[in-house]
Amino acid sequence: MSRIDRRFAALKAAGRTGLIPFVTAGDPSPQHVVALMHALVDAGADLIELGVPFSDPMADGPVIQHASERAIAKGVGLNEVLGWVARFRQRDAETPIVLMGYLNPVEIHGYARFAQEAVQAGVDGVLLVDCPLEEAAVLQPLREAGLQQILLAAPTTAPVRMAQLCGSAEGFLYYVSFAGITGAAHLSTGDIAARVADIRAHAKAPVAVGFGIRDAASAKAIAGFADAVVIGSALVERLAGATDAEEMTMRVHAFLAPIRSALDAH
Amino acid sequence: MPTIDDFHAWPDVHGRFGNYGGSYVAETLMAPLAELSEAYLRLRDDPEFIAELDRDLKHYVGRPSPVYHAERLSQHVGGARILFKREDLNHTGAHKINNTVGQALVAKRMGKPRIIAETGAGQHGVASATVAARLGLKCVVYMGAVDIERQKINVYRMKLLGAEVVPVTSGSKTLKDALNEAMRDWVTHVADTFYIIGTVAGPHPYPLMVRDFNAIVGREARAQMLEQYGRLPDVLTACVGGGSNAIGLFHAFLNDADVRIVGAEAAGEGIATGHHAASLAAGRPGVLHGNRTYVLCDDNGQITETHSISAGLDYPGVGPEHAFLKDAGRAEYVGVTDDEAMEAFHLLARTEGILAALESSHAVAQAIKLAREYPKDGIVLCNLSGRGDKDVHTIAAREGVEV
Ligand SMILES: Cc1ncc(COP(=O)(O)O)c(C=O)c1O
């Protein structure tokens, strides 16, 4: 059983909704990524999505675009990200880590080389936004090395395709709550609930919902019907400009604590 | 290396040209792309659609465009005959209109009331605003803030045509970023919006569809060559930004093994300086804007900023079919510098009375080089993809002239 599968099994056994924060690796500060990751776990994260910065993040809104630009300007690339994961693993062997990003950095790094280095560092899965199921053959070396490919499903996904995604999902299936880019702020929980219920009936894997979740209230609304919630832009925005580990840790706790309690109270 | 003898058989059903192309997009766009593919592949063989497109190309765009023998230029160069396929004479001044007329008809048939486009030089933006005005569709054009500055005239033209021009300030603030922003708009408005991509890049079916709509250039030119000269040219050349005018000219000739094909990329200040946009000549295979192709990027996979005097060539990727033709050895891709393009611009102006677009001036420079390699009875056919009115300010500024 993979680390991701174990984590979701434990959540289910405890009757809890998972909390998955997203941060862009290297933002706000490349010096404090590992401390930031530990702070996320201390504040209640069940799984961490670590964004690999890319110059052309087509599916991201301004908050994550700018975080990526700042990280790239400080020289952050896959080598640095994998190094941080390895250091995080020295103290935390349990929290699953999914690298989220776009295909080109992995393609240029080399699929086989990436697979080997990522597993060695302690990465559990990848969510490559611009690599849909149809193109996933290139990820075969990742799969063979034991990395799980997290698939996305969207409101536009047609029924036949949704069945395919449900059948192929591993780790968890990430349901994008609305047709749009990250950081946009509309959430219509009624539509999402129906769709997620349908997916959960068909998918072997648990379902996480992301896009548009910004605070305790929106997290709680989703918690009623999803296995986990993903919070990205609102957190990245909150962290922007923090300069030292202490400040980052404070902001992480202030931001995640009410969300964690809302999820646990539901 | 792919061993193939029918270049017209590509792409395959997944939109792949050998190892290149495909659909590398976020899940949300898979459904609208499937819808578009389905609609386009149906229309492509629909006699009514084809007849409507032909009528528009004839009466609105002004096709066919002539093949013109540039005698004074050829004489000046002293080599083979240089012929120009005059896409600069089209309505709105470039080959871009061939594609926008086609895609706008697809949008209309699909019942989409709003179109969006990205633009670099502004030619595609103008061509999109033009067809939107004619069909009564709302039009939003994304343009990099840097390009807005260097192509002011086209920005104003778009506004006169009723389009909204949205400045893009992310990344390098040029064409690639405009494309990102248009994709973000599309993913947010998939239900009512049709995205008219302006070159043979993007996810499937765009490289196929945009190629099809521009392939009229080569089909006409091939027939015109046989009619006017009783033979095919020795060599074709065209400038390559995303690659739409180039594939437009090349496609009809791909299976004519004796016709040599040379694409001219923007070498900017010289490939060795790193300030260029020559993705095929100096890049490597990667994934950008929905397809696998040659890209300019660093070892971290970050797309690098490009440089060209011409906004329309200032792009770090290239259409996947060109990547395929390069690897197959069917076409060569070479760099032409800013200085060489400027020199060709002036030479063409003074010998032929034609102000070429800066993009097209790269092709003219390459045609001049090629003409020197062939005997006097040889023929170089060059795609003159657009006219230079839009570039007058850039050229004046570069030469220190106030206008
Ligand atoms: C006149 C002209 N030629 C060429 C290009 C480059 O595009 P492509 O390589 O798709 O033909 C442009 C782009 O704006 C253009 O305006």
* Three-state secondary structure string covering B250-274: HHHHCCCCCCEEEEEEEEECCHHHC
Look up residue B233 and give its two tokens.
């040219």
Q: What is the DSSP letter of B306?
A: -
Say which amino acid occupies A76: V
The mean pLDDT value for A48-77 works out to 97
Phi and psi angles of residue B277, each rounded to the nearest 5 degrees, phi first? -135, 35
Q: Cβ-count burial of A159 within 10 angstroms (0-12 exposed, 13-18 middle, 19+ buried)?
A: exposed
Residue B205 near residue B84 (C-beta atoms within 8 A): no
Residue B385 annotated in active site: yes
Q: CB B30 to CB A156 under 8 A?
A: yes
- How far apart CA A81 and CA B291 sit, in angstroms, is 25
From the CA of A164, how many Å to the nearest CA of chain B? 13
What CA dihedral angle connects B263, B21, A144 and A45, to 10 degrees? 110
Secondary element (H or E) of residue A159: helix A159-168
The mean pLDDT value for A217-243 works out to 95
The mean pLDDT value for A224-249 works out to 96
Residue B308 annotated in active site: no
The sign one gets for the Cα dihedral A56, A58, A62, A63 is negative
What is the secondary structure of B32-82 as a DSSP string? HHHHHHHHHHHHHT-HHHHHHHHHHIIIII-PSPPEEE-HHHHHHHTSSEE
Which of A70, A89, A85, A182 lies closest to A126 in space, CA to CA?
A: A85
Secondary element (H or E) of residue A256: helix A245-265
> What spacing in Å lies between the alpha carbon of B385 and ligand 1's midpoint?
7
- How far apart CA B9 and CA B1 sit, in angstroms, is 16
Q: Which positions in chain B touch A105 (Cβ < 8 Å)?
A: 300-302
The 3 state secondary structure assigned to A49-86 is: EEECCCCCCCCCCHHHHHHHHHHHHCCCCHHHHHHHHH
> Residue A187 pLDDT > 90, yes or no?
no
Burial A50-66 (b: 16+ CB within 10 A, else e): bbbbbbbbbbbbbbbbb
Q: Which of B96, B112, B176, B390 is catalytic?
A: B96
From the CA of A124, how many Å to the nearest CA of chain B? 21
Q: Which positions in chain A touch B183 (Cβ < 8 Å)?
A: 58
Give the total residue count for chain A: 266
Predicted pLDDT at B3: 52
Predicted pLDDT at B4: 65
Catalytic residues of A: 49, 60
Question: Is residue A188 very low, low, confident or very high in pLDDT (cuts 50, 70, 90)?
Answer: confident
How far is the CA of A234 from the CAs of A24, A188, A237, A244, in angstroms?
12, 17, 5, 19
Assess A100–B contact: CB distance below 8 Å, yes or no: no
Residue B93 near residue B390 (C-beta atoms within 8 A): yes
Predicted pLDDT at A215: 95
The helix/strand/coil state of B83 is: strand
Residue A141 near residue A175 (C-beta atoms within 8 A): no
Look up residue B144 and give its two tokens.
């990099």
Residue for token pair 């700018």: A66
The helix/strand/coil state of A137 is: helix
Say which amino acid occupies A82: L
- How far apart CA B159 and CA B190 sit, in angstroms, is 24
Interface of B with A (CB under 8 A): 14, 22-32, 34, 170-171, 176-177, 180, 183-184, 187-188, 190-191, 284-290, 292, 295, 297, 299-303
Q: Which residues contact A246 (CB under 8 A, 6 or more apart)?
A: none
Chain A nearest-CA residue for B183: A58
How far is the CA of A229 from the CAs of A11, A53, A144, A220, B30, in angstroms?
13, 22, 28, 9, 23
The mean pLDDT value for A74-89 works out to 98
- How far apart CA B360 and CA B384 sit, in angstroms, is 5
Secondary element (H or E) of residue B141: strand B138-144
Q: What is the ipTM of this complex?
A: 0.96
- How far apart CA B80 and CA B93 sit, in angstroms, is 27
What is the secondary structure of B212-247 as a DSSP string? HHHTHHHHHHHHHHHHHHSS--SEEEEEESSSHHHH
- CB atoms near residue B141 (< 10 Å): 29
Of A104, A132, A154, the CB nearest to B286: A104
Assess A152–B contact: CB distance below 8 Å, yes or no: yes
pLDDT in tens, chain B (403 residues): 445 679 999 999 999 999 999 999 999 999 999 999 999 999 999 999 999 999 999 999 999 999 999 999 999 999 999 999 999 999 999 999 999 999 999 999 999 999 999 999 899 999 999 999 999 999 999 999 999 988 889 999 999 999 999 999 998 899 999 999 999 999 999 999 999 999 999 999 999 999 999 999 999 999 999 999 999 999 999 999 999 999 999 999 999 999 999 999 999 999 999 999 999 999 999 999 999 999 999 999 999 999 999 999 999 999 999 999 999 999 999 999 999 999 999 999 999 999 999 999 999 999 999 999 999 999 999 999 999 999 999 999 999 998 8
Look up residue B73 and give its two tokens.
């230029």
Give the number of the atom of ligand 1 that is nearest the alpha carbon of residue B122: 14
Q: CB A77 to CB B22 under 8 A?
A: no
CA-nearest residue for atom 15, ligand 1, is B312
CA-nearest residue for atom 10, ligand 1, is B244
Q: What is the DSSP letter of B6?
A: -
Predicted pLDDT at B1: 43
Start-end of H helices in B273-379: 279-282, 320-327, 338-352, 358-373
The helix/strand/coil state of B139 is: strand
* Chains A–B, number of C-beta pairs less than 8 Å apart: 126
Q: For the whole model, what pTM was predicted?
A: 0.97
How far is the CA of B332 from the CAs of A251, B1, B323, B384, in angstroms?
55, 15, 10, 18
Predicted pLDDT at B107: 98
